[in-house]
Amino acid sequence: MTLLHLFDLDGTLMYGSAAPVEISRQLGVGEEIAKLERAFAAREIGPHQFSMAARELWSELTPDHVRAAFDGSPWLAGIRDVWTEIRERGDYCAVISLSPSFFVELLLEWGAHAAHGSVFPEVPFTRPVEAAGILTPEAKVDVADRLCERFGVGRVDCVAYGDSMTDAVLFEAVPRSVAVNARPYLAERATHVYQGRDLREAYQLVGAARPEVDAS
């Protein structure tokens, strides 16, 4: 049985941080992004409003800033090891995040088969953010369905990894899920719960125990 592992980024692959936070630190607008993060967590603004406001904060962003943010982020240990093992087993791994695509897609360098984020203009920005390209929690499921079609699997073959309410819709859509350093709301809805800083340990909760296939 082939599995498709679907990873969130912010707070999941990253420990205690998020791509917008790390990007904003490079530009000295950490307090401003923290205010937006609080408003988003309180549901005072949605993904579209958050992304458009972040785009304005990042008006001076360059590719060097993005690379520095990526390289300096507090990643969980063992990400590349896990994705190498997934590939060697003939399974698939993908990242689906509400964070900017220009950041999320850098994880392809680490071995992800696919990486999908909210579509931002190319850095340095010369265009505004288009609302249609911004992912929502519900859109994560749409992306997962497209990936299932691409890799020849179904939702029943998926494992989702996440940490917050933005992952809840995807957790409900697939049979196996791992709440990674998650808030209680999501942990209660997961089939497995992990607290720690090593993705290899989280992966072992489901990755090494493949579902039985009925051969009758």
List, for residues 118-158, the tens digit of each pLDDT value: 999 999 998 989 999 999 999 999 999 999 999 999 999 99
- 89-98, 192-201, 207-216: which has the minimum mean pLDDT? 207-216
Rounded to the nearest integer, the mean pLDDT of the chain is 94
Residues 174 and 158: their CA atoms lie apart, in Å, by 6
Residues 99 and 51: their CA atoms lie apart, in Å, by 8
One-letter amino acid identity for 201? E
Mean pLDDT within 6-27: 98
pLDDT value of residue 207: 64
Residues 165 and 146: their CA atoms lie apart, in Å, by 22
Could you tell me which residue, 97 or 216, shows the higher pLDDT? 97
pLDDT value of residue 1: 86
Residue 159 sits at φ, ψ, to 5 deg, of -125, 125
CATH T-level topology, domain 4-15+75-204: Rossmann fold (3.40.50)
Note the pTM of the prediction, 2 decimals.
Answer: 0.94
